[in-house]
Each structure stands twice: as C-alpha cells, then as structure tokens.
Structure 1
Amino acid sequence: MSLYPTDLSPQNTAEEQQTGEPQKLSSAPPALEVDGIHLAFRKKRSLLPVLQDVSLTVKPGEFVSLVGPSGSGKSTLFHIIGGLLKPQQGHIRMHGQDVTGERGHISYMPQQPALFPWRTTLDNVLLGQENAPRNHTAAHSQYASERERREEARQWLEQVGLGPFAKAYPHTLSGGMQQRAAFLRALLSPQELMLLDEPFSALDALTRAEMQQWLLRIWERNRRSVLFITHSIEEALLLSDRIYVLSARPASVVHVVDVPFPRPRREEITLDPRFNEWKRTMTDWMRQERCRLDGGMEEHTESARKSPTNNGADQYE
C-alpha cells in the first residue's frame, strides 16, 4: 500500500521540493536513533505490552513528529529516550553513542509550562542551563559565566516578546507567554536534542495557532533537532520534516510520512489542497488505529478478569 495520497507521490512533489530550501546530505550520525524498542508493564494480574519494536530516527537539525492514538505509548517512549525508563529490548543512540537508560542527554518541554512560581521569567528560562550535566555545560563556551548566560537569556526574551516580563512571575503571564518561556528554557539548555511533549495542547485554538507560527519562526532560525508529540495532524504537517504514525497499543510504527512541503512554511500552507489531502489520509489512519485501541482495551479488561492473581508487587516487565 502506498503511503502517498492521490497526486502526492514523490514524483509529483519533486518540483515543489526543488523550490524550497535544498536538502543537505550529511554523513554525520543521527541526532537520535530509537532502535527496536520493546516495553511492557506488569500491572497486578496482567502484562500490558506498551511498545513493540519501535524504531525511528531524527537527523541533525530535523523536526520530526510522533502521532498516534491516546494511550498508545508516545509519552512512555519519551521517558525511555530521556533515560527515565529502560526498555526490555532495543537501544537509544544519540550521535552514534548508546545512551540507553542514561539521563541528561535531552532538553525537554512538557505539556504544561511547569514554571516555578517563585522564580522570575528570566530565572525560569535559565533553569535548564543550571541543571545541565557538567559535560554538556563545559562543551558550550558561551555559557562560561552566569553574567553571560543571563545576558543571552535576556536577548532571547526580547526576541520572543518577553523582554518587558523578564522580572515578572509566572502567575502574571498569559498561557501563551508561559509556553514561550518554557520553550526558551528548553532551547537554551545545552543538549542538542529537544523533546516537545504536546506543548500547545492546553492552549485555546487562536493562541495555539499563534504559537505554531512562533515556533516555526524560532526553529527555522536555529534548526535544533526536535522530536515532537502531537495529537493534531494539521500541526504535525505544518511543523515537521517527517512524521511517524504509531499504531494502537502495543505501539509500533505503521506509517512514515516525509512531509513534501518546502520551507519556510507559513499558515497559508494549510489551505493547499494537497495539504488537506494529506490531512484526510492521515486522519483515516488514526481512526483505524483508534478503533483497534478501543477494541483492544475491551479484550484486555476481559483477560484481566480471567487471569490468575500475581502475588508480586507492581513492576516494570
């Protein structure tokens, strides 16, 4: 089965690709390799497979999105990449080095801004640098002194419209302003790979659209390596170079989409008929996986009622 909707084959999009920014081939190892990850949780009476042979890559300077049904294990995969969980099988590699189970290699932005209420906007933005492992901090000479770090952070706050709020506390900021501060905290962390876990899900539709455009502008200037979780297919198509579509639990990669639209991208791309054809196709894929997940949950509930009692404590299997 082709992964391309009608009239969106690579041949039909080649001409448009040529009008965008040229693709640079690099022999450098990927910023991230997720290789054959398996994970299952043992929960009281039953074994719950969550991830099954999940593999993906993020090249240096690439924006990759991960979409899948709710409960399919996307955030769990982030925990494995960040070293909070260790898989039963598979490896996590960053720039060619095996870092499975190790922490401190990624910068992270959660669904909620998670700003400390007792710290100013500036001090919250600096938090990622303060908590970075020494080997990462030492590798970035621009962070040689606290004065230099604070000056750079102030310059960034000015660029994103938060300069007048550098000394303000989080409760005085709007939702969009808090998200911008949280993103800057991840951006200014010395780790090259950024994991963004549905960072705009709590925002209203208008603020979310504004934040998407803001993120596009910031990322296109800096080209950090990004792995982005979202439930919005439109958001994934707008922001990404490549999209991995996960199946229902236990999650595996069922589709890989190389987004055919050139950069720089602006909101008007969402009106392109080909954009909407992709959106319809991916929505159909997600509906199919959602139906599978709903059916699987019913089967799992019935299996749990029939399975023998497990006398052991809850543990990761």
Structure 2
Amino acid sequence: MSLHPTDLSSYNVANEQRTGEQQSPSTAPPALELDGISLAFREKRSLLPVLQDVSLTVKPGEFVSLIGPSGSGKSTLFHIIGGLLKPQQGRIRMHGRDMTGERGHISYMPQQPALFPWRTTLDNVLLGQENAPRKNTAVPPQYASERERRKEALQWLEQVGLGKFAKAYPHTLSGGMQQRAAFLRALLSPQELMLLDEPFSALDALTRADMQQWLLRMWEKNRRSVLFITHSIEEALLLSDRIYVLSARPASVVHVVDVPFPRPRREEITLDPLFIEWKRTMTSWMREEKHKLDGDMDNAQSVHKNIPEDGLNRHE
C-alpha cells in the first residue's frame, strides 16, 4: 500500500477528467491543453500503442512537469505538441485555439544543447528568433530590427553570465554554459509556450544542481508557460507547480500532483520532511510503472521463446 501525504492532493486522471479545470469566464484560456491524445505506431503488420487518452493543462505562466518510465512516450508527446506528429485521436489547443498538427507555435529546448558549431554564442541565441514564424504566435514580435534583437540578446547574455562569451564558439563553452545558451535561445523565441525535454540529463550532478537553481531564478523572473520532461522526481518537485505522472507504454496519466511548496524555491527545500515524503511516494509510483513495463517485456520474450522454428505459434 502506497502512502499518500495529506498536504497535497493526488488523484487518478479519471477524477481529473470528471471534475475538469474550474475556470471563471474571465480567466484566460490555458497556454496548452491536451484533450484525449492517443497515438500508435505501425510496425509491419501490427500497431504499437504509445499514447492512450492523455489529457493535461498548462496555465499561462505555469511550470508543469511530465515524469514517467523510459520509453513511455514523453518525447513523442512533445513531437505531437510541436506539430511533427499528428495524433490518431485527441486535440491540442493553445490559448484557446485548436493547433493540432500545426508547427511554429512553441519554443523548444532539447536534451542536448544543439548549438551550431559555426555560429557564435550570440548568433546561436538569436537563431530562435530568426527561424520562428511571426504570425499566429501568442506573443507579438518584440524587436523591430536586427540591431535591437542583438542588443537585447547581449543584455540577456550578460544576465546569465555569458556576456564575455558572446563571440565564442560552442566548443569553447562548458556543458552548463551551452545549456544556458540553449535555454536563452528558447526564452527569446517569440512563442510563449516553452517545451523543455530533459535539458539537464547530460550534465554531472553538481552542474545539474547549479542549472536547476539557475533555471528557477530565470523562470521566476519571466514566468513563461513551461512543459518540462524529466526522469528526476526531485527535479520535478523542485521546479514545478504541477506534475503529471505517466504510466508505462501506452502512456496515460495515472497521477496528478499539485506541488505545495511556495515560491521562490531554493535547494534547501529538498531537505523538508514533506518534500522527502513526496519524493518517496512518487518513487513508489514510478517503480510500480517500471515493473509493469519490465513484466510486459518479459512476457513478450517468453512468447518469442515458445514459438517453434517453423514460425507457427501452436496451442495445445
């Protein structure tokens, strides 16, 4: 039996779908709303279900995290939100508009910095503004000229400690510095909604902790709407307003956690007894989903071993 801390409500997605988001007519529509997203990939003559009836909401200025077992479809969900894939079922709405299958409405930070080696730090930071379509974005263009864009980007580089490296090339930067440049590229893109796909997974533990604190400070200054993928429960609790816990594949939302800790947050919150209790509870949820995934793989291997050499699956 898993423990459920009393200070924070966690509930099955069925209950969330029953109650829905209670919003007054004057409340702004969500920055992102996924409604019943389902997707399966075709493998030869069979289908591989990846996502099953996934629904979630990111309110304006909210930091929301996704956690789930490896291979549960989190990055695939990002591809759907970004318009690279189209779901078989469900709709995607941004600021109240249906954006299903459309591209150009999000800013994105991948797991790796993905900085172009032939461009300076400044030019890499400006890339998001250069390539982003200006029409149909939630935030109107902020810069009237290239000169103004470069001036603003240089000011931001100073704020994040990269001012002296504006003309440097990526290979001269540390991993944490490259990640800051990649985040700044996403931050300065005109789209209001940011998707961050495990941006700190490749960093060592100390650098990762520093980057988490840096991201907290940056986000608290700007309050962009963020959907964040992570495998770290501690990272999700530290950064997020709300956390969606996904099941093993095919992924569905099995728990929703409204994080109770006030902002601004600092690293010391990880020593709070309630924080530790929630970390323990969510770890047990994740272990349960991982065991389901491992069990499915074991069953598949068992079936494969029992198939005779002639390829026929006989039943006695």
Q: TM-score, normalised by structure 1?
A: 0.88
Question: What CA distance in whole angstroms lies between the structure 2 residues aligned with 1:139 and 1:254?
Answer: 33
Question: What CA distance in whole angstroms lies between the structure 1 residues aligned with 2:136 and 2:5?
Answer: 46
Question: What CA distance in whole angstroms lies between the structure 2 residues aligned with 1:63 and 1:300?
Answer: 38
Deviation at 1:47, TM superposition (A): 1.5
- 1:8 to 2:45 alignment: no
1:85-134 alpha-carbon deviations (Å, 9 max, x no partner): 00100001000111000000000000000000000000000000000113
Which residue pairs with 1:189 in the alignment?
Answer: 189
Contact in 1 for aligned 2:8/2:257 (Cα 8 Å): no
Gaps of 5+ in 1: 11-23, 310-317
* DSSP 3-state at the match of 2:142: helix
Distance 1:137 1:81, change over 3 A: closer
Which residue pairs with 1:173 in the alignment?
Answer: 173
- 1:258 to 2:258 alignment: yes
Aligned length: 293
Contact in 2 for aligned 1:111/1:200 (Cα 8 Å): yes
Contact in 2 for aligned 1:46/1:304 (Cα 8 Å): no
Contact in 2 for aligned 1:137/1:143 (Cα 8 Å): no
Report which structure shows greater RCO (CA 8 Å, sep ≥6).
1
Q: How does 1:46-85 map to 2 (within 5 A)?
A: 46-85=46-85
Q: Which moved more, 1:150-159 or 1:132-141?
A: 132-141
Deviation at 1:42, TM superposition (A): 0.9
Question: What CA distance in whole angstroms lies between the structure 2 residues aligned with 1:70 and 1:204?
Answer: 20
Which residue pairs with 2:147 in the alignment?
Answer: 147
- 1:37 to 2:13 alignment: no
1:249-302 alpha-carbon deviations (Å, 9 max, x no partner): 000000000000010000000000000000000000000000001112233456
Distance 1:304 1:92, change over 3 A: farther
* DSSP 3-state at the match of 2:135: helix
Which residue pairs with 2:202 in the alignment?
Answer: 202
Letter in 1 for 2:260: P
Question: What CA distance in whole angstroms lies between the structure 2 residues aligned with 1:128 and 1:120?
Answer: 14
* DSSP 3-state at the match of 2:69: coil
Which residue pairs with 1:13 in the alignment?
Answer: none
Question: What CA distance in whole angstroms lies between the structure 1 residues aligned with 2:240 and 2:63?
Answer: 5
Question: What CA distance in whole angstroms lies between the structure 2 residues aligned with 1:205 and 1:182?
Answer: 19
Letter in 1 for 2:218: I
1:32-91 alpha-carbon deviations (Å, 9 max, x no partner): 001000100111243110000000000000000000000000000000000000010000
Q: TM-score, normalised by structure 2?
A: 0.88
Gaps of 5+ in 2: 10-22, 312-316
- 1:104 to 2:104 alignment: yes
Contact in 2 for aligned 1:45/1:304 (Cα 8 Å): no
Letter in 1 for 2:78: F
* DSSP 3-state at the match of 1:142: coil
Deviation at 1:8, TM superposition (A): 2.3
Which residue pairs with 1:285 in the alignment?
Answer: 285
Question: What CA distance in whole angstroms lies between the structure 2 residues aligned with 1:109 and 1:223?
Answer: 16
* DSSP 3-state at the match of 1:49: strand
Question: What CA distance in whole angstroms lies between the structure 1 residues aligned with 2:116 and 2:126?
Answer: 12
Contact in 2 for aligned 1:142/1:148 (Cα 8 Å): no
Q: Quick one: percent identity of the two aligned structures?
A: 84
Question: What CA distance in whole angstroms lies between the structure 2 residues aligned with 1:303 and 1:98?
Answer: 43
Contact in 1 for aligned 2:50/2:72 (Cα 8 Å): yes
Which residue pairs with 1:312 in the alignment?
Answer: none
Contact in 1 for aligned 2:141/2:190 (Cα 8 Å): no
Q: Which moved more, 1:85-94 or 1:132-141?
A: 132-141
Deviation at 1:159, TM superposition (A): 0.1
Which residue pairs with 1:214 in the alignment?
Answer: 214
Instruction: State the Cα RMSD in Å.
Output: 2.1
Question: What CA distance in whole angstroms lies between the structure 2 residues aligned with 1:211 and 1:107?
Answer: 19
Distance 1:108 1:303, change over 3 A: farther
